[in-house]
Amino acid sequence: MINKPLGEILIEKNLITKEQLARALELQKETGSLLGEILVSLGLITPLQLYHVITEQGPFEYAGGNLQLLAQEIDPKLLSFFNPQDFFQFSFFPYRTNHDEIEILTPNPNNGSLRQFLENRFPGKRLTLKLITPYELDWLAHIFFKDKFLLEATSGLFYRSPEESAMRVFTPIQWISLGILCALIIIGVFTLPHSTLLILLGLANLFYAINVIFRYVLSSAGAKLDTNSSLFKKTDYQLRPSDLPIYTILLPLYHEPSSVIRQLKTAIQNLDYPPEKLDVIFLIEEDDQETLIHCKAEKPPYNVRFVIVPKGMPKTKPRACNFGLAFARGEFLTIYDAEDIPERDQLKKAVAYFRSSPPNIMCFQNALNFYNAEQNILTRLFTLEYSYWFDYLLPGLYLNHLPVPLGGTSNHFRTKILRDLGGWDPYNVTEDADLGMRASYRGYQIGILPSTTFEEANSQVKNWIRQRSRWLKGYLQTFLVHNRHPFQVIRNSGWKGWFTLQAFIGGTTLGQAFSLILWVLFFIWLFNRGEFLQSYFSGPILYLGVFNLIIGNFLGIYLNMLAVFRRRNDRLIFYSLLNPLYWWLASIAAWKGIFQLFTRPFFWEKTIHGLQFKGKPDE
């Protein structure tokens, strides 16, 4: 046993310099973190070097190294005393018992909370703590609880609350209702074709007009909310580093090129947050060896863990995130996509907003935008849409106290509530929107965070349609799931919450699908003045059609112009005049999503990332 401070031993072994130790000690004063964790997070020493030195200090023995032998010595009966989440919350793993002694493996033997937890669980027992690295702790959890974690990730929500899961696409009542509707339409077309088509056109125009008006109301409210608005809390988010909790970042990766992984590593390292308090998890599918190789080649910092998601179906992002959620250590948790670049202060800002908000605020959604907005016409139009969606529509829902469908990435959660909700639905291909609606209908609220994460805008039409058809298919899944018990939705969130489900969630996909039909009819009339259409477009239907054509398109273009103007991206304003072309693409994607809802409901159309790097060196 060496009775010397840790830093002094490391200097004597030439593992760090005096200057590096001084820097680490200064950070320790600021953050209150352990010196060893700081040195590892800075990349000055490896975890193995740290634990070998701690072993020399005594009185703790390092038990890692031969993991296969260690796993064989684990007492399975001892595992039954704990919830697996305890292992990550208190950073330990049960080892074995010997009469009145219990041996525990931990990366942090000086953790007072761990010792108190164990003493409460085993009063009167003598505790012996032995050292392992955090990576060895993950490995043991994966070995002993992989099947349990995977079952929970895949079927947990369905087993606990089957009515909230999209595993069953249509309920029997929904199938019967759909069948009756289709039968009535077919019978009407053959028996009363004129009246039937008149009713269908009237309903389509009415639904579209309601959707236009509702979005205008939301946009008018959302226009009041910007980063300088008094409606945002004037929260001083310059928190002391010692006040910051552990923050988990889930990063689901699948078939990502090396350039994207390199950019991702840089983005995470640039976050203004103590690195030893970041719990970064790369979620890599078991059959995706190429991405694993790219991740290892980039040599990410030691606060990054690789969690391998076992093979299984459905192979979706929410299933991977659920599996990663089992390993999360943070009080708060967020998700980034592989190509994301969040603003540096985003995590600190999220912590400050959580700290000053009531406990029923379970999530904050921040804005998304693009760093390749001007790559081509498609990315410009995509940026117009995203600016409108995240800067106007979602804030409008928030200010009107309506359910907010989350936006895929940069959702910041209270980890405990996220687990209580069952995580994400692995069978819903727009799991973010579904989770936002489910949380709202269970009495939780979604807040808006004044921060932006920049992503890669899809720059290829085929890739864009693949992505958009999945989103719109997922919106229909969410629409069907939460319409299984409409009276329960009304009871939990009122008529406004129910209307939002119909007009915003269902209306997003169905409105875009109807739009294509209405545009086709318009062009038929425009080019041949089809007299057969005159009898269908008269009276109220004509007025609704004119409203949708003129007012609806004007508002869509005008609000998109305002959205980029707010972000001072003036060069995109005139591209908003091309929005009708973009909406036609969305209509095609909507019909593809509707078709896949019946044929491949759980198929996850992978969005190809890194297209902006194509043709650049080192790709």
- pLDDT tens-digit profile of 294-319? 999 988 888 899 999 999 899 999 99
On whether the CB atoms of residues 279 and 247 are closer than 8 A, the answer is yes
Please name the residue that has the structure tokens 């491949």.
Answer: 600
What residues contact 227, with CB distance under 8 A and at least 6 apart?
A: 450
Q: What is the DSSP letter of 60?
A: P
Which residues, given as ranges, of the chain have pLDDT below 70?
Answer: 1-3, 226-238, 528-538, 612-619
On whether the CB atoms of residues 308 and 142 are closer than 8 A, the answer is yes
Please name the residue that has the structure tokens 């759909």.
Answer: 178
pLDDT of amino acid 230 = 47
- Would you state the structure tokens that stand for residue 15, as one six-digit string? 């593992």
- Rounded to the nearest 10 degrees, the angle between the axes of helix 193-222 and helix 507-528 is 120
> How far is the C-alpha of 433 from the C-alpha of 448, rounded, in Å?
15
> How far is the C-alpha of 225 from the C-alpha of 450, rounded, in Å?
9
Angle CA 345–348–354, to nearest 5: 135
On whether the CB atoms of residues 546 and 614 are closer than 8 A, the answer is no
Sheet of 411-414, strands arranged across: 304-309, 278-285, 247-253, 332-335, 411-414, 361-370, 445-455, 341-342
> How far is the C-alpha of 429 from the C-alpha of 407, rounded, in Å?
12
Beta-sheet pairing, 126-131 with 61-62: parallel
pLDDT in tens, 559-593: 888 888 788 888 898 898 998 899 999 999 999 99
On whether the CB atoms of residues 337 and 455 are closer than 8 A, the answer is yes
> How far is the C-alpha of 114 from the C-alpha of 505, rounded, in Å?
45
> How far is the C-alpha of 119 from the C-alpha of 111, rounded, in Å?
13
Nearest C-alpha neighbor of 533 from the set 197, 205, 209, 207: 197
- Would you state the structure tokens that stand for residue 93, as one six-digit string? 């793993």
Looking at residue 19, its amino acid is E
Element (H, E) at 187: helix 172-191
Q: How many CB atoms lie within 10 A of CB 86?
A: 17
- Would you state the structure tokens that stand for residue 425, as one six-digit string? 């639905």
Q: What is the DSSP letter of 16?
A: S
> How far is the C-alpha of 170 from the C-alpha of 174, rounded, in Å?
6
How far from chain centre, in Å, is Cα 151? 20
- Rounded to the nearest 10 degrees, the angle between the axes of helix 431-441 and helix 486-500 is 120
Alpha helices in 299-425 (DSSP H): 317-325, 346-355, 377-388, 394-399, 415-420
Angle CA 339–345–349, to nearest 5: 115
What residues contact 257, with CB distance under 8 A and at least 6 apart?
A: 294, 609, 610, 613, 619
What is the gyration radius of the CA atoms in the chain, in angstroms?
A: 27
- 121-151: b or e for each residue (b if 16 or more CB lie within 10 Å)? ebeeeeebbbbbbbbbbbbbbbebbeeebbe
What residues contact 609, with CB distance under 8 A and at least 6 apart?
A: 256, 257, 260, 337, 338, 339, 456
Q: How many CB atoms lie within 10 A of CB 524?
A: 13
pLDDT of amino acid 254 = 93
Cis bond upstream, residue 314 (ω within 30): yes
On whether the CB atoms of residues 605 and 470 are closer than 8 A, the answer is yes
pLDDT of amino acid 98 = 83
Angle CA 274–277–282, to nearest 5: 110
What residues contact 345, with CB distance under 8 A and at least 6 apart?
A: 237, 272, 451
pLDDT of amino acid 16 = 86
Angle CA 536–539–542, to nearest 5: 60
> How far is the C-alpha of 577 from the C-alpha of 558, rounded, in Å?
9
Beta-sheet pairing, 411-414 with 361-370: antiparallel
- CA–CA distances in Å: residue 353 to residues 104, 221, 332: 37, 21, 12
Element (H, E) at 368: strand 361-370
